[in-house]
């Protein structure tokens, strides 16, 4: 009886160690795959949009495979994920959010081509004083959220990624949408109105 308990314990420890090593290799391969994809960025017609699509399709394919093999399953009204499936999906989501940070950073350079306001060529007041700082803040927040996804994968906890996702969505709405709209409405339009009346 005691030998059986020891055998089960050893088997569980060996399976856990092998699973952990396999997940490490999977994360390493995903990282190298991302680096390879970013290395191809800008060649021919391959843009950041296609890298996003690649990561999203990888995420969807991973979710389907995990569901088919029992890594993701519905129990009652809750979705349950095996530790390996959870780590894999959190790593892919972290990579996706990291790519979003890169996109926010590159969006900063697109304000010169903005059609906002009365300025027809170049950046407007709102672009320079609201959109540019907002994109910088959103890039930093997206990096922090990616770190939260990676930490959630390491700690096997869904709390950190949930907080990160909520923070990213809320900041994208407030900093990326509401703040530039408020600047445009209450600073630029009021100034234009005052300027045209005098």
pLDDT of residue 39: 67
Asked, for residue 99, whether it belongs to a domain, the answer is yes
3-state class of 19 per DSSP? helix
pLDDT of residue 13: 76
Q: What is the value of pTM for the model shown?
A: 0.69
Asked, for residue 20, whether it belongs to a domain, the answer is no
Q: How confident is the model over 5-31, as a mean pLDDT?
A: 72
Write out pLDDT tens, residues 116-139: 666 667 777 788 888 889 999 999
pLDDT of residue 149: 93
Give the domain range for residue 174: 40-197
149 vs 47, more confident: 149
Asked, for residue 22, whether it belongs to a domain, the answer is no
Asked, for residue 104, whether it belongs to a domain, the answer is yes
By the 8 A CB rule, do 93 and 85 touch? Answer: no
| Best-predicted range by mean pLDDT (5-14, 68-77, 148-157) | 148-157
pLDDT of residue 25: 67
Lowest mean pLDDT among 5-9, 165-169, 187-191: 187-191
Count CB-CB contacts under 10 A for residue 113.
10
Asked, for residue 157, whether it belongs to a domain, the answer is yes
Asked, for residue 161, whether it belongs to a domain, the answer is yes
% of the chain residues with pLDDT over 70: 77
Number of domains observed in the structure of the chain: 1
3-state class of 81 per DSSP? strand
pLDDT of residue 152: 92
Q: How confident is the model over 94-122, as a mean pLDDT?
A: 80
C-alpha span between 125 and 140 (Å, rounded): 23
C-alpha span between 59 and 101 (Å, rounded): 18
pLDDT of residue 27: 67
Asked, for residue 2, whether it belongs to a domain, the answer is no
Asked, for residue 32, whether it belongs to a domain, the answer is no
The mean of the pLDDT values for the chain is 80
Write out pLDDT tens, residues 78-88: 778 888 888 88
User: Is 28's pLDDT higher than 80?
Assistant: no
By the 8 A CB rule, do 59 and 72 touch? Answer: no
pLDDT of residue 67: 79
Write out pLDDT tens, residues 138-185: 999 999 999 999 999 988 888 999 999 899 989 989 988 888 888 888
* Token code pair at residue 180: 């530039």
């Amino acid at each position: 009886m005691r030998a059986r308990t020891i055998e089960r314990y050893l088997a569980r420890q060996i399976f856990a160690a092998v699973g952990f090593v396999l997940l490490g290799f999977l994360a390493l391969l995903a990282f190298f795959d991302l680096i390879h994809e970013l290395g191809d960025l800008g060649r021919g017609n391959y843009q950041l949009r296609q890298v996003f699509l690649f990561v999203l399709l990888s995420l969807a394919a991973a979710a389907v495979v995990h569901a088919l093999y029992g890594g993701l399953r519905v129990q009652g009204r809750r979705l349950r994920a095996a530790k390996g499936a959870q780590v894999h999906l959190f790593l892919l989501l972290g990579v996706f959010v990291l790519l979003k940070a890169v996109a926010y950073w590159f969006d900063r350079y697109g304000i010169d081509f903005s059609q906002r306001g009365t300025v027809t060529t170049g950046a407007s007041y709102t672009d320079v004083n609201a959109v540019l700082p907002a994109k910088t803040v959103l890039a930093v927040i997206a990096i922090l959220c990616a770190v939260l996804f990676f930490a959630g994968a390491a700690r096997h906890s869904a709390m950190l990624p949930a907080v990160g996702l909520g923070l990213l969505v809320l900041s994208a709405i407030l900093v990326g949408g509401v703040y530039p709209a408020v600047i445009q409405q209450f600073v630029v339009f009021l100034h234009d109105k005052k300027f045209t009346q005098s």
